[in-house]
Amino acid sequence: MRVVVADDHSLFRDGVVSLLEAAGFEVVGQAGDGGQAIDLVLKLKPDLLLLDISMPHMGGLEALHRIREQAPAVQVVMLTVSDDDADLLEAMRSGARGYLLKNLKAEEFLDLLGGLARGETALTRQAASRVIHGLTQGGQSPARGAQLTQRELELLPLLVEGLANRAIAQRLSVSENTVKYHVKAILQKLEAKNRTEAAMFAIRAGLVKIPR
């Protein structure tokens, strides 16, 4: 996986780069602010951007908005010290594929990033719970969910659990290709950009109960 790391603290950034490279990631660029991150993403077209929130000139959330518009194929994971619910919710609403705090242990950090390749979201269980509860505060019309087939409704709770396609296939005793087909249909019918957004909609609409 080709990665760009954007953080204004060079010492921390160098440490993350060393950790990623030791784990087999290819770090293709480094940025010190949001504007530089956008330039590198458009130039290098990485698979993943690790993006800090608090940076000079242009912060991570503004950069995230622009990257989602200009380079939607690039996966963006926020890597930050901000444990603020507002930052977390805005990042996930804006299309981030994950939100990780800088105090994570290296093993958990790398494991969560590795899950991106399996279609998972890079969120700890605690952060995922906060996102779900935060987004269920506002009402949501279930109209879009009415289009789902019975099989798609069976698959939705497994999306909410964050399971990868292979795990869902095993749980439902179907092929992985069948799961991919249904997931694609779910995203289209719920008008969701990704699996995380679909899961959040499902919970807000009452299609799936909030996991305990």
Q: Among the three residues 81, 104, 134, which one is the final residue of a domain in this structure?
A: 134
Residue 87's Cβ-side half-sphere holds a number of Cα atoms within 13 Å equal to 19
What's the domain range around 182?
141-204
> Are 110 and 190 members of one domain?
no
Between 136 and 170, name the one with better pLDDT.
Answer: 170
> Are 197 and 98 members of one domain?
no
37 three-class SS: helix
210 is a domain residue: no
168 is a domain residue: yes
> Are 11 and 98 members of one domain?
yes
pLDDT band at 93 (very low <50, low <70, confident <90, very high): confident
Average pLDDT taken over every residue of the chain:
86
In this prediction, what percent of the chain has a pLDDT beyond 70? 89
138 pLDDT exceeds 60?
no
User: For 48-73, what is the mean pLDDT?
Assistant: 91
Q: Tell me the C-alpha distance between 83 and 54, whole Å.
A: 12
**Confidence at residue 95, expressed as pLDDT on a 0 to 100 scale:** 83
**Confidence at residue 211, expressed as pLDDT on a 0 to 100 scale:** 47
154 pLDDT exceeds 60?
yes
Give the CATH number of the domain where residue 123 resides: 3.40.50.2300
Q: Tell me how many domains the chain contains.
A: 2
Q: Among the three residues 134, 150, 177, which one is the final residue of a domain in this structure?
A: 134
What would the pLDDT profile of 158-188 be if each residue is shown by its tens digit?
A: 988 888 899 999 998 888 888 998 898 888 8
> Are 9 and 112 members of one domain?
yes
Spell out a b/e string for 1-14, using b for 16 or more CB atoms within 10 Å of the CB, else e: bebbbbbbeeeebe
103 pLDDT exceeds 50?
yes
113 is a domain residue: yes
Own/partner long-range contacts of 135-139 (Cβ < 8 Å, ≥24 apart): 135/89, 135/92, 135/93, 135/200, 135/203, 135/204, 136/203, 136/204, 136/210, 138/204, 139/204
